[in-house]
Amino acid sequence: MRYGVSADGRVLVDVDGVVADVGALGLEADPSWFAAPSLNRFMAAGPDAWASVAEQVRGADLARGAVSGDVVPVLPIEVADYVDFYASIHHATNVGRLFRPENPLMPNWRHLPVAYHGRAGTIVVSGTDVRRPSGQLGEGVFGPSARLDFELEVGFVVGVPSVLGTPVPVDEAADHVFGVVLLNDWSARDIQAWEYQPLGPFLGKSFATSVSAWVTPLSEIPRVPSPAQSPEPLPYLRAGRDWGLDIPLEAVRNGEVVTQVNFAEMYWTLPQLVAHCTVNGASLRTGDVLASGTVSGPAPGQQGCLLEQGGPFLADGDEVVLRSPRLADVRGRIL
């Protein structure tokens, strides 16, 4: 089951390939949830509402609200904030080796989920073309990026907001997260390399971030045990060890599979990302997107970006498709 939004503002549900207008199914639910031109009102309604609607949809006659013809979905959420984590130990180690071969992981990496705050306004729906960015490439050098990359990621969409000044405990994270999308954090590595010290990514990543047009409810994703963590995290991060998520992933470049990996490899779990994001009192808002960071594994062929693979970087006209049997595709072509 997946939820999306049509170009004319209807909330849609896709059940095994059958697409229906949720508002036309006659559900016992607040009609305003499905009248707005995004999923935000429904997402803000909370876990009981999500579960009730899902149960009713599964028992409904989808033909009653069936949408005929090709559906052209739009960005399904009104994005509030966007945070991108760095939660894969394999990705962090592979990238770290490029710059610090003797000690690839920074001292803080095993103690907290590292992240940066991105640009919510440049999140675009799958299928949107991505124009090659220009910027500073070095001292006195300006021009189009020559090291354009994709990043295979998973994005978590917040439904229920939290109160400013009140951290979200790790064991309550699932009450706030509505669903999951595939996410491509396009990256201009040469712009990033020149700008990122001392404050981290900025223009090298803020020109476009692509997400799926359909949001899969978090409840639809099977849980598996997550990898062991050493040293033991601080108390506010200690729960949620059963929160590995079984999401097979692959990246395809111009029709050729270049990465295959499972999200279950991720070191930091979703509840830990939520708890860390709010531990200082920062609030969650409906429509926040919390991205996992590049998903990579320990074996060859499991590197989730071209930087780890040693290139070649993206050329004009290249199309990248990220896909999973559990989530809707996300695709983009370089202009």
The pLDDT, as a whole number, for residue 36 is: 80
Tell the residue number behind the tokens 């500073």, with chain if given: 136
Of 33, 65, 97, at which residue does a domain stop? 65
97 and 206 co-located in one domain? yes
How is residue 258 written in tokens? 């270049």
DSSP string computed for 269-311: -HHHHHHHHHTTSPPP-TT-EEE------SSTT--SBHHHHT-
**pLDDT recorded at residue 71:** 81
CB-side neighbour CA atoms (13 Å) of 155: 34
Question: How confident is the model over 139-175, as pLDDT tens digits?
Answer: 999 999 999 999 999 999 999 999 999 999 999 999 9
Q: What mean pLDDT do residues 78-85 have?
A: 98
203: left (phi over 0), alpha (psi -120 to 50) or beta: alpha
Q: What is the mean pLDDT of residues 173-183?
A: 97
The CATH number of residue 211's host domain is: 3.90.850.10
**Domains identified in the chain, total number:** 2
Examine residue 77 and state whether it is found in any structural domain, yes or no: no
Shared domain for 130 and 195, answered yes or no, is yes
Q: Do 138 and 9 fall into the same domain?
A: no
Domain identity same for 156 and 274: yes
pLDDT at residue 79 in the model: 98
| Residues 40 and 151 reside in one and the same domain | no
**Cα gap 102→36, rounded to integer Å:** 53
Is residue 307 a part of any domain in this protein?
yes
311 pLDDT more than 90 = yes
Q: According to the model, what pLDDT value does residue 181 have?
A: 98
Q: In angstroms, what CA-CA distances link 129 with 65, 151, 209?
A: 31, 16, 11
Closest CA relative to residue 14, chosen from 76, 62, 78: 62
Judge if 124 and 195 occupy the same domain. yes
**With pLDDT > 90 as the criterion, what percentage of the chain qualifies?**
92
Quick one: pLDDT at residue 241?
A: 67
Any domain includes 138: yes
pTM of the model: 0.97
Nearest to 4 by CA among 279, 214, 206, 177: 214
Whether 240 has a pLDDT exceeding 70, the answer reads: no
Catalytic site residue from 91, 111, 117, 176 = 91
pLDDT recorded at residue 242: 76
Q: Is 117 one of the catalytic residues?
A: no
Residues 124, 156 within the same domain: yes
Question: Which H helix or E strand runs over 138?
Answer: strand 134-138
Of 140-154, 215-229, 233-247, give the lowest mean pLDDT range.
233-247
Question: Are 117 and 145 in a shared domain?
Answer: yes
Whether residues 44 and 130 fall in one domain = no
Report the C-alpha gap between 174 and 223 in whole angstroms.
12
Buried b (16+ CB within 10 A) or exposed e, 270-289: bbbbbbbbbbeebbbbbbbb
In a domain, 219, yes or no: yes
70 is a domain residue? no
75 within some domain: no
Residue 71: inside a domain? no
Q: Which domain does 211 fall in, by range?
A: 82-333
pLDDT score recorded for residue 99 = 85
- Of 13, 36, 65, the position where a domain reaches its end is 65
Domain contains 73: no
